[in-house]
Amino acid sequence: MRVDEGPSQQPDDVSLMVRVRSDDEDAFAELYRRHHRRVAGFFYGLSGDPQVAGDLRQETFLRIWRFRKRYAATGSFKAYVFSFARNIWLENCREIRRRRRLGELQAFEPESAPAGPSFRPDTVAARAELEGHILGALDKLPEDQRMAFVLRIVDGLSIGDIATIMQCPVNTVRSRKLLAIKKLRETLRKTYSL
């Protein structure tokens, strides 16, 4: 009796990364396609700046490629990717602090986007205001709480993967995430007088 195999299954992330370890650029492109948005979202959740998020996402994948030969197929691939992302974020924070000490940072001037036919200034302004309040509230959180919140709520990673990424126990991740949620609620309640 012949069993119909059906459509070919896509290789899982670990299998792709094993191929990347052997210099398979197509496998790397597929991993990038699968994960680049989530990594950018992680950085955007921490920085609030789409340009920074894009730059750090690029650095994350460049580093994964650069260190591909060291990959050991243990654990979740998401934890592997976000371990790189976490380290790059921490390096970025150190660099920003160093520049601030040296007085090298310049003010950020966002580029204006052309208005389309569905452009509604009131909606755009309200959304920008809300986003500003949320990002401001996130920015006030301690780094460990902000990272736990972004990885779990924004990126949807498991508590176990986050514990691996943050190099701390699972219960610590849970408490950091819950503290972040509590502080965000308090801050936003004050802002919106709820």
pLDDT digit string, tens, across residues 152-188: 888 888 999 899 889 999 999 999 999 999 998 898 8
> Residue 168 corresponds to which tokens in the numbers above?
């701390």
**89, 143 contact by CB (below 8 A):** no
* Separation between Cα atoms, residue 33 and residue 36, nearest integer Å: 6
> Could you state, in order of their start, the residue ranges of all structural domains in the chain?
11-104, 122-194
Please check the confidence at residue 107 and state whether its pLDDT lies above 70. Answer: no
For domain 11-104, the CATH class is mainly alpha
DSSP one-letter string for the chain: -PPP--SPPPPPHHHHHHHHHTT-HHHHHHHHHHHHHHHHHHHHHHH--HHHHHHHHHHHHHHHHHTGGG----S-HHHHHHHHHHHHHHHHHHHHHHHHHHT------PPPPPP-TT--HHHHHHHHHHHHHHHHHHHHS-HHHHHHHIIIIIS---HHHHHHHHTS-HHHHHHHHHHHHHHHHHHHHHHHT-
Band (94; pLDDT cuts 50, 70, 90): confident
117 or 62: which leads in pLDDT: 62
User: Mean pLDDT for the chain?
Assistant: 84
> Residue 144 corresponds to which tokens in the numbers above?
């460990």
Beta-carbon contacts of residue 80 (< 8 Å; ≥ 6 apart): 17, 71
Answer yes or no: CATH 1.10.10.10 is held by domain 122-194: yes
Please check the confidence at residue 79 and state whether its pLDDT lies above 50. Answer: yes
Mean pLDDT lowest for which of 60-74, 77-91, 111-125, 141-155?
111-125
* Separation between Cα atoms, residue 187 and residue 135, nearest integer Å: 11
Which amino acid would we find at residue 7?
Answer: P
